[in-house]
Chains A and B, each alone.
Chain A
Amino acid sequence: MSELRLVPAALAVWAVILVLLIHGSVVLALAGVAVTALILGILGQGGQATMVGASGAAATLVTWDGRRRARAWEPGEQIVGEVAATPVEITGGGHLVRVGVPGLPAPLPVFTDELADGVVSGSRVVVEASLSASDRPGLLGQVGNGDVHPVAGPSGMDAVAHLVRESLGRAVETSVGEASQGLIPGMVLGDTSGQTATDTQLYIDTGLSHLTAVSGANVAIVTTAAVLVCRLLTLGPRVQVGAAAVALAGFVGLVGTEPSVLRASVTGLVGLLAVINSTRMEPIHGLCLAVIGLLLWDPDLAVAYGFALSVAATAGIIALFPLLYRPLARTGWPDILVRAIAVAVAADLVTMPIIALMAGRVSMVSVLANVLVAPAVAPVTVVGLIAAGLSLLPGGLATLPLMIIEPCTWWIHTVATWCADLPNATVPASPAWVLVGYGWVLVGVISGHPLKTAGVVCALFLWAARTDPLPPVVPLESLRVHHVPTVEEVGTAPPGTQVIVVEEGDGRASIRPTVTREGIPVLFPQRDGPVTLHVDGTQHAADGRF
């Protein structure tokens, strides 16, 4: 934490690109850079002033040039390009396909109603779409709506990655249970297509969704595993670095060269540097280099939440881990637990304001969930990658490693389900409140009172989760009740019905009460357990979910 010389330059690059993408004024961006450089110069930091000025100017140049190329681009009737990333299914139907088009500085997002077979990452496509202005800031400023027709399949590295995805998906389907089927491809390859929407929401609510994306952590785990194996075999540092490089190449070879993977590789290498070479290459220095390089390479990253979360988590762990570890270690808890808590709190603290800004809701259980799953993550990533490689070979060799990691993924899924069912698992929050609240937690821990802080936090949780004295219950017998066998027949209730009771018990228990469009309460006693109606019109489940 002592090598901070590149921090101003990295911040300057990020700020300049943000101003250019959101506000669009080159004059404002350059003026900001000039004023910052001037202030630094007056403070006697001539070198920093030069560096900030130069990197700010470079960022302006790159962004302005990207904008210019995007404006100069004239789309034809058909746009020919290559799919840049795995198509994403959007909630509410349809798919988002990012198509890399020659001459454009960034992939063109195309929304399409139906995803044709063969539109996978790396395949050549012809896009027929009407273009309209995008409401998200970015280099292109436009999105397409229309059809994506595949022309040719993926080639080279993309073809291998596609093959690996398919073969691992098949192996997973035949050998492990339902809870693991969505998790293993997600945690190993970042392929979440096997997850149901409910599962995806479950991992978001519990702060575990970073596990199922290819993140810097994946790369760091894989390369660190290679280094540690070499150390166990008492091999020299050169062999260790070589093994890490081979492991990284193997990882990229199996996962593909999508932009998100390359980005994760760079952040993961920063993590690896922190592990093996922290005395000479300070991790913050490496992170700053990575941020400057990546932002100049792809200015759109400056407005990507994923990138901001990734950088914030890395920086937070580097900067806050020592601060949090020392007071926690004095508690005398097992060292491994203390380390896991310190990492989880450090990452949670810096990412939570960004999540609050992005989603308006934050997870209250993410530290708990992340600490609980921590021991299960590394085995899944490493052994799962081996399984992905073996699944390419005939003979079902992948079954054995998949069976080994199945208890781990089952555990992660169980933890997520349990944590999501806790009261107040997610709460609405604004970034300012998150900063204030978590700031006090940080102050409490650093000032040497981790146990008292934990006690106060737990007390607040319990206070928030307490059950208010409920208004009197309305007995069902006093109401006109209509019983239907399935939820599809709710509409058959005769006029004057006051409560509808659905007899079927399928589906996951709801976390909020159900009413029809007309406001008639709908109860699912078989699915949600006993639910009572109250005189103020509210419903309450017996187990306190709502």
Chain B
Amino acid sequence: MSATIDRLKDLTRPTGQEQLLDVAYPTPRWTLTLRQGMVAGVLVLLIVGAWVVLQRDPEPAALPVADLPAVAAGPSADPGTDLVVSVVGHVAHPGLVTLAPGARVDDALAAAEPLPEADLLALNRAQRLTDGQQLVVPSVGEAAPPDAGSGGAGAVSLNSADVAELTTLDGVGEATASAIIAHREATGGFTAIDQLMDVKGIGPAKFEALRDQVSL
């Protein structure tokens, strides 16, 4: 028996020449019968259709807010503590004013009582105050302080703008705005616009884009 198997093995052993033989391979098969085509086509369409319908109702990204990093919370987004702002210039009571959270320039002016010559048009009385901000009240005819009208078309002040104002800049989101404010508080304020590049998240490219939109 084993002799027979050995003999068979001998005969069926590869010769190493198979690839060289001029084999007539089967002709390529291109044709699908109508039945096969219908079945396969319907199957493909059903699977794809079901998948698209399932995707159509995307559940909202359920992401617990607690997962968000601290970068989302800027100093001004802390509603719990009172604001202390410095009001100087043409007011009856220059000095520090303590206000409720969410207070606006108008509230600070009410506490400090502007003098008759104070130019209230130079100030945006609806602007929200941030803790530690200085409010300079100019007299009529005096040049408006650089940080007064920062909400409009003018440049945004790096040293006094809050998160909301900074986010009006192109390419600055809340995290970058918070980073700018954190840097300002850590270093005691910007003395040159170039220092923006020291802020985490602002590289040379972003700085070039921001350069013309900000002031000190």
Contact = CB atoms under 8 A, between A and B. Distances in A.
Contacts of B20: 326, 329-330
B69 interface: yes
A50 B49 contact: no
A4 B28 contact: yes
A149 interface: yes
B174 A77 contact: yes
Contacts of A46: 33-34, 37
Contacts of B174: 77-78, 128
Interface of A: 1-5, 7-9, 45-51, 53-55, 57-58, 61-62, 65, 69, 77-78, 80, 94, 101-103, 105, 113-114, 124, 126, 128-130, 145-147, 149-152, 292, 296, 322, 325-326, 329-330, 335
A326 B48 CA distance: 43
Interface string B49-65: 10110011010110100
B45 interface: yes
A322 B21 CA distance: 11
Contacts of A151: 67-69
B37 A113 contact: no
Contact of B27 (A2, A45, A124, A150): A2
The secondary-structure label for the interface of chain B is helix
28 contacts: A2-B26, A2-B28, A2-B29, A5-B30, A9-B40, A47-B38, A49-B37, A50-B32, A50-B37, A53-B41, A54-B37, A55-B41, A58-B48, A62-B52, A65-B55, A69-B58, A77-B174, A102-B58, A105-B55, A124-B67, A126-B72, A128-B173, A146-B173, A149-B69, A152-B67, A325-B19, A329-B20, A335-B16
Contacts of B45: 54, 57-58, 61
B203 A114 contact: yes
A314 to B, nearest CB: 18
B29 A147 contact: no
Contact of B42 (A54, A102, A114, A335): A54
Nearest to A327: B20
Contact of B32 (A48, A61, A103): A48
B11 interface: no
Closest 3 CB pairs between A and B? A54-B41, A113-B203, A47-B32
B2 interface: no
A2 B171 CA distance: 57
Contacts of B16: 335
B201 A114 contact: yes
B13 interface: no
A518 B90 CA distance: 60
Contact of B44 (A58, A102, A129, A335): A58
Contacts of A114: 201, 203
A103 B58 contact: yes
Contacts of A45: 30-32
Contacts of B42: 54
A155 to B, nearest CB: 12
A82 B41 CA distance: 35
Contact of B52 (A61, A129, A146, A147): A61
Contacts of B176: 128, 147
Contact of A113 (B26, B60, B68, B204): B204
Nearest to A335: B16
B35 A47 contact: yes
B70 to A, nearest CB: 10
A46 B191 CA distance: 77
A181 B26 CA distance: 48
B7 interface: no
Given A62-B52, A147-B175, A322 B26 contact: no
A420 B29 CA distance: 43
Contacts of B71: 126, 149
Contacts of B31: 5, 45, 47-48
B69 A5 contact: no
Interface string B190-213: 000000000001011110000000
A1 B23 CA distance: 13
Nearest to A114: B203
Nearest to B33: A47
A61 B28 contact: no
B42 to A, nearest CB: 7
B36 interface: yes
Given A50-B41, A113-B204, A126-B69, A296 B175 contact: no
Contacts of A3: 28-29
A296 B51 CA distance: 10
B10 interface: no
A7 B31 CA distance: 11
A62 B173 CA distance: 34
Contacts of A53: 41
Contacts of B41: 50-51, 53-55
Contacts of A78: 68, 72, 173-175
Nearest to A50: B37
Given A49-B37, A149-B69, A130 B170 contact: yes
A322 B20 CA distance: 9
Given A4-B30, A114-B203, 20 more contacts: A4-B28, A4-B29, A5-B29, A47-B35, A50-B32, A51-B36, A54-B41, A58-B48, A61-B52, A65-B52, A77-B167, A78-B174, A102-B58, A113-B204, A126-B69, A128-B174, A147-B201, A149-B71, A151-B68, A151-B69
Contacts of A65: 52, 55-56
Contacts of B27: 2
B37 A62 contact: no
A194 B164 CA distance: 42
Given A113-B203, A329-B20, A1 B28 contact: yes
A45 B36 CA distance: 12
Contacts of A80: 61, 63, 68
A1 B25 CA distance: 9
Contacts of A150: 69
B32 A329 contact: no
A379 to B, nearest CB: 25
Interface in B156-189: 167, 170-171, 173-176
Given A5-B32, A128-B174, A130-B170, A55 B25 contact: no
A292 B48 CA distance: 11
Contacts of B52: 61-62, 65
Contacts of A55: 41, 44
A163 to B, nearest CB: 22
A329 B22 CA distance: 13
